[in-house]
């Protein structure tokens, strides 16, 4: 499937995972994330099935995307998060 390659390790095998901490800290994380079976990186999935962006409590916003690389859908919450420079205000 297009758009399902891990940015960290290049892996293509993923499993759905719930992460209550990321859901609590990052409001744009609402459902299950996709966990890379190769390195453990977690991704927010897009409605089209692609990996929208990597999410982590300590990820540098430089490594995040506000637009799906597969279908081009934009996420305004993620874009605002990136523009702020991270989780400030999401305590």
Kindly report, residue by residue over 9-36, the tens digit of the pLDDT.
999 999 999 999 999 988 899 999 999 9
**pLDDT for the residue 91:** 42
Structure tokens at 57: 């409590």
Per-residue pLDDT, averaged over 37-55, amounts to 95
Burial degree of 29 (CB within 10 A; 0-12, 13-18, 19+) = buried
Up-side HSE of residue 16: CA atoms within 13 Å toward CB?
7
CA atoms of 63 and 42, how far apart (whole Å): 12
Least confident range from 36-40, 47-51, 61-65, 78-82: namely: 61-65
Q: How would residue 80 be classed by pLDDT, with cut points 50, 70 and 90?
A: very high
Q: How would residue 84 be classed by pLDDT, with cut points 50, 70 and 90?
A: confident
Up-side HSE of residue 39: CA atoms within 13 Å toward CB?
12
pTM attached to this predicted model: 0.87
């Amino acid at each position: 499937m297009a758009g399902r390659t891990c940015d960290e390790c290049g892996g293509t095998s993923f499993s759905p995972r719930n992460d209550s901490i990321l859901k609590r800290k990052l409001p744009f994380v609402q459902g299950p994330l996709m966990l890379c079976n190769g390195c453990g990186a977690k991704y927010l999935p897009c409605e089209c099935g692609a990996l929208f962006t990597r999410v982590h409590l300590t990820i540098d916003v430089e490594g995040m995307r506000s637009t799906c690389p597969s279908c081009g859908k934009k996420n305004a919450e993620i874009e605002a998060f990136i523009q702020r420079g991270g989780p400030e205000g999401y305590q």
